[in-house]
Amino acid sequence: MTSSSSSSSPVKGLRELLMGDSTELMLGVHDAISAVVAAGCGVRSLWVGSLALSCARGVADCGDLTSTEVLDVVERITDRVSTPVLVDGDASDRSPRATARLVRGLCLRNAAGVCLEDKAGPKRNSFSTPGSEYLAPVDLYLERLRAALSSRTNSAFVVVARTEALVVGAEIDEALDRAYAYVDAGADAIFVHSKAASFDEIREFCVRWDMRAPLMCAPTSYAATPFRSFRTSNISLVLWANQMMRRAILAMGEVAARASNYCDLPSLEGSLVSIDELLRLTGDPSTAPDRVDISNTDGMVRQ
């Protein structure tokens, strides 16, 4: 099965998904192979987020990754798949000039967009200890946002403004005020984030939103929410940001635990991707690169 893409170029594809009438799912990936698997299964848009990228490199999600490291991963992903890629730009500590350089680098690597959050530094993950993060002043964030908008070299490149107001405990009014200011400054879409246990505050935000720009959310903490709830709330993109990484860690742990206890190798082989499929996924020239067959892996979607 070939990689999924929109009807036009990968860069335009993200904008088309955001502006479309349906609610789409965006899946987080952390390297080229996870992107190949996701695209091969028909996922229509990909997220490259700082948590999964940091985890893949064994470091905390505290801004330790450099722009060069992020751009290198993005380049490897867009070289292998034609699926639109939205990149987590963080920007908690990044200056407007550094933000501009990042955006130009992403455009050169055929990323479809960047997402900039409005927390103040030092960088901490949204699910860190409560009270450890604060919102950046609106004027400061707008400088970064405008730098991103003015630096894109492809007019189809999407700049998503992410408000963390609800994450840090602010009221929905502040989240709305910030989102409106970001759209007025030119943001193409709003990512409203929450770590509440239910969809309720995001639903209220959506009810009060005037739909002047598309909305994104990430139901990491309210994962039990039925997908139809996102549709009825007019959310354009629902982001599963870290599920691929979390499942990968579990799978690797299962193999490692069995190895440490000298479990029977033949019984393990039946739950693994074949060597032939591994060669195909990595683009070995002796194999058919358009085939993605993960049907022999336990618990994964069969295509």
Q: How far apart are CA 255 and CA 258, in angstroms?
A: 5
Instruction: Map tokens 């929450």 to a residue.
Output: 194
- Is 61 catalytic? The answer is yes
Task: Catalogue all structural domains in the chain, each as residue range(s) with its CATH number.
Answer: 10-247 (3.20.20.60)
Q: What is the pTM of this model?
A: 0.90
Confidence of residue 132 (pLDDT cuts 50, 70, 90): low
Question: How large is the average pLDDT for residues 174-188?
Answer: 98
Q: Which residues contact 68 (CB under 8 A, 6 or more apart)?
A: none
Query: What beta strand segments (E) does 13-157 contain?
Result: 24-29, 46-48, 85-90, 113-117
Give pLDDT tens digits for 88-98.
Answer: 998 667 899 99
The answer for residues whose C-beta is within 8 angstroms of residue 155's C-beta and 6 or more apart is: none
> What is the pLDDT at residue 2?
36
The pLDDT tens digits for 268-279 are 888 888 999 999
Mean pLDDT score of the chain, rounded to an integer? 90
Q: Is the pLDDT of residue 152 over 60?
A: yes
130-139, 175-184, 252-261: least confidently modelled range: 130-139
Structural contact between residues 167 and 126, judged by C-beta atoms closer than 8 angstroms: yes
pLDDT digits (tens, 9 = 90+) for 216-275: 999 999 999 999 999 999 999 999 999 999 999 999 998 988 888 887 777 788 888 899
pLDDT band per the 50, 70, 90 thresholds, residue 289 = low
Q: Which residue is catalytic, options 21, 31, 61, 177?
A: 61
